[in-house]
Every structure is written in structure tokens, then in C-alpha cells.
Homo-oligomer: A and B are copies of this chain.
């Protein structure tokens, strides 16, 4: 389970980096708080942050439940893929909005696998319990 916790923390470190990039982009592109829009590149970095926020709310519990109900090593592997996919998503999206697709899929597919795997694992555990 420690390896799963490492993957979890690394995903949060990556998100912390995205938050920091948004802060730096405020200065670089002159987007003054409380605005969250105003320069095309700022807007794209901000969207990387927001989209990753949405994904993390699913990722953190799904990773832990998949590890508990299915398999911790597979959970860590899917989680590592998620982190790599998010890095590619960031790199692509900063370059151009239409280059965000690959990284998006490489992060969202393992995230969906963690969520659905956790669901199946929980349902199997319940069926064993009531069988």
C-alpha cells in the first residue's frame, strides 16, 4: 500500500506544480486576480489546473479503493500512467488547445479504469458477503 500512497502523493505534487504555473502565468501574461481569464496561454494553463482538479477528485478515492478491493500493484501502475498522462496533457495544452487530446486520454482512461475497477471490486465483495 505504501507504493500506492507514493503514487497518490506524486499526483498531488504534480497538481501543486500546475497551481504554481497558474500563479506564474498571472504575472507573465498580466492577468490580475480575481480574473481567471484574459490571455490565451493563461487560459489554457488555468484549464489544465481546473481539469486536473476535477480528475483528482475521482482519482484519489478510486486509487485507494481499487488498491483495497482489487490489487495495489495494478492501482499503482494505473496511477503512474495517470501522472504521465497529466504531464503530457499540460505540455500539449500549453502548446495549443487542439494538442491536449493525447495527454487527456492517457490520464482519463486509467482514471476511469481505477473508478470502474473499484466499483466492480466493491460489488464482488458485497456479493461474496451476501451470497
Q: Residues of A at under 8 Å CB distance from B?
A: 2-3, 5-6, 8-10, 12-13, 15-16, 19, 32-36, 40, 43-44, 46-47, 49-50, 53-54, 56-58, 60-62, 65, 69, 93, 97, 100, 112, 115-116, 118-119, 122-123, 125-126, 129
Chain B residues in 8 Å Cβ range of A15: 54, 57-58
CA distance A35 to B43 in the complex (A): 8
Chain B residues in 8 Å Cβ range of A123: 6
Supply 15 A–B pairs (Cβ within 8 Å), ascending by A. A2-B126, A5-B118, A9-B62, A9-B65, A9-B115, A9-B118, A9-B119, A12-B115, A13-B115, A16-B58, A32-B97, A33-B100, A34-B46, A49-B54, A53-B53
